[in-house]
Amino acid sequence: MSMRFAAFDTETANEKRGSVCSVGLVVVDGGRVVRRYSTLCRPPAGLDYFAPRNTAVHGITEDRVHAAPAFAEVLAELVVAVGDRVLVAHNASFDISVIRQACDQEGLAYPALRFGCTWTWAKRLLDIPRHRLPDVARHLGLPLGTHHDAADDAEACAGVCLELMRRTGVGSVEELAVAAGGTLRSLGLGPWNPVRPSRIVERPAAVVPPIG
């Protein structure tokens, strides 16, 4: 199997995990990034307040998402972009729970996605004291643009996944999960019908500026 997967990251408006306000995604085919997406997102109604603590981390405020697409639109575009690829995230338990809880808030079915966690794999395969994304990227000699910019974090996550695959001598994310002593997990049980596409921005492969 080829090195084919997608990596993503989310940012939230407040302490509620369903309060997604930004999504970054990179698509990897043949071991290289072929597409990069990023978008701001209007959090689901009821979770759409911005806590100062969260804004201090990522710099996103309520006025910046006022004209952004709604979560349902962003999720539709995410599902289309990922296709049948495995989805990976650094600390996937957080980012997948963001999708799950935002779906719950909006009354949406969970999309059928297989996913894995580069944080878990790095923790099992790398002998370093900390396994946050900046620590792992630094240890592996990988660039990380602006931490907590969803697009930059998604790209760094993809780089971590590819480097772990190279170091373990495997050719797929499925094999990497096994090499790290685990398996992939699944979100959703069947086909999912996306709503109308969002205004996610596809950016040139060479340059990925910060959101905003």
* Whole-number Cα distances in Å, 64 to 41, 42, 151, 166, 189: 9, 9, 16, 39, 34
Mean pLDDT of the chain: 90
pLDDT of residue 190: 54
Q: Does position 210 have pLDDT exceeding 80, yes or no?
A: no
**110-129 pLDDT per residue, tens:** 999 999 999 999 999 999 99
Q: Does position 158 have pLDDT exceeding 80, yes or no?
A: yes
Which domains are present in the chain?
5-187 (3.30.420.10)
pTM over 0.75? The answer is yes
> Which is nearest to 100 in space by CA: 85, 86, 115, 90?
115
Residue tagged 């597409």 (tokens): 35
pLDDT of residue 188: 82
Instruction: Name the pLDDT band for 204 (thresholds 50, 70, 90).
Output: very low
5/126 Cα distance (integer angstroms): 21
Instruction: Name the pLDDT band for 195 (thresholds 50, 70, 90).
Output: very low
**60-79 pLDDT per residue, tens:** 999 999 999 999 999 999 99
More confident residue, 43 or 207: 43
What is the mean pLDDT of the segment spanning 33-51? 96
pLDDT of residue 147: 95
Torsion of CA 9, 14, 19, 25, to 10 degrees: -10
139/137 Cα distance (integer angstroms): 5
